[in-house]
Copies of this chain bind each other. A is one copy, B any other.
Amino acid sequence: MIITYNPIGIIHSPFKELTSMPIQPASDTSGPGSVEIFAPYIEGLMDLEGFSHVILLYHMHEVRDVTLAVTPFLDSVPRGIFATRAPSRPNPIGLSVVELVRIEGDTLHVENLDVLDGTPLLDLKPYVPEFDHKVDASIGWLERVKGNVKGTISDDRFK
């Protein structure tokens, strides 16, 4: 079974290369940017402005390799790819919850982007804590490195 999608938009960001990028929206270096929605889909933005945060699902188009065991930016030993948020996934779908500042026509102005400039957007969903937040979730190997995400930037390991 092969699943095919067409991008619904494109993400514009200050990050032009896969190195020296913020590794998550929660990183100190994440930045402002915009999400351009292609003309056929603009009608779908109705009512979105009332939400403070949106979930971006995007295709990490510059990631070439699939590695099932990866050494994540936040650790020094290999972890299973599905126990990390590293980009070298079998299906390189990225997920970022970003702050929605305002919408102007076909453009969403957002904060806290951690996405490469020119990334194709697959889907856009409203962030709803009642649906998406799990209180007291435990986080496995990440427990030990919690807090380090703010100051960590990417290197060339997934280039």
Contact = CB atoms under 8 A, between A and B. Distances in A.
A146 to B, nearest CB: 6
A154 to B, nearest CB: 15
Given A83-B126, A122-B91, A128-B142, A3 B2 contact: no
A6 B90 contact: yes
Chain A interface size, under 10 / 10 to 19 / 20 to 34 / 35 or more: 35 or more
State the main secondary structure of chain A at its contact with B: mixed
A93 B79 CA distance: 26
Given A1-B120, A132-B97, A69 B44 contact: yes
A52 B130 CA distance: 17
Can you tell how many copies of this chain the complex includes?
Answer: 2
B95 A140 contact: no
A138 B132 CA distance: 13
A153 interface: no
A84 B55 CA distance: 11
Interface string A3-34: 11111100000000000000011100000000
Given A3-B6, A3-B59, A141-B50, A122 B93 contact: yes
Interface of A: 1-8, 24-26, 37, 41, 43-55, 57, 59, 68-69, 78-85, 89-91, 93, 95, 97, 99, 120, 122-134, 136-143, 146-147, 149
Nearest to A80: B46
The residue in A3, A79, A141 that gathers the most chain B C-beta atoms within 10 A of its C-beta is A3
B53 A137 contact: yes
